[in-house]
Copies of this chain bind each other. A is one copy, B any other.
Amino acid sequence: MQDLLFGFISKYISLTEDEKNAIVSLDIFRSFKKGTTLLGEGQKSKDSYFVLKGCIRVYYIIDGEEKTTAFYTEMDALTPHCVINNTPSGYFISCVENSLLLISNADMETEVNNKFPKFDTMCKLFSAELLVKQQMDFDEFKTSSPEQRYLNLLQKRPDLIQRVPQHQLASYLGIKPQSLSRLRARILEKKS
């Protein structure tokens, strides 16, 4: 299972066996059952997550309604706002599936960075990449209709459509579940 992690890291930096062992010895792998809430609205936390297996979801509750804004699957990393600006979280994070996560916090990161300076290099590269990806996602969302967004998702993350409940997916696309059903029927009709 750790191979997943080291495969991911190798995209940015190369690690010696010693370094790998040091990381493993941190004992930061945790598994959670489907439905587990990792972070609640209003809570503070110092933890960041890296998904090794499974799927986690970020959602708000606005007027009693869930609004899903993000799904994180294998090899995705999530650092909640509250970690960065030390304020109560505005949203919930929960497991869509049974998931194996890597959980890190600032203390642990500085410790690793001190031992292995190149780790800091990786973090910088990774966060720059993340910023760009996030910006591109935002732009894509803004510049397309719900139907286009759905078709895009079908291309880019086809797995999500299978593994995530439709009503969460609808919310993620910015529409109601009924509209997603209709939209899908419309697309099927066009094809034929």
Interface residues of chain A, those whose CB is within 8 Å of chain B, are 60, 62, 67, 69, 81, 84-85, 90-91, 127-132, 134-139, 141-143, 174
* B69 and A128 contact, CB distance less than 8 A: no
* B143 and A141 contact, CB distance less than 8 A: no
* A142 and B67 contact, CB distance less than 8 A: yes
Closest CB in chain B relative to A156 CB, distance in Å: 16
Known interface pairs A127-B131, A131-B131, A134-B131; A143-B67 also in contact (CB < 8 Å): yes
Report the bound CA distance from A134 to B141 in whole Å: 14
* B132 and A69 contact, CB distance less than 8 A: no
Known interface pairs A69-B138, A138-B69; A60-B143 also in contact (CB < 8 Å): yes
Q: Can you identify 6 A-B contacts, CB atoms within 8 angstroms? A: A67-B143, A81-B135, A84-B131, A91-B139, A134-B135, A137-B138
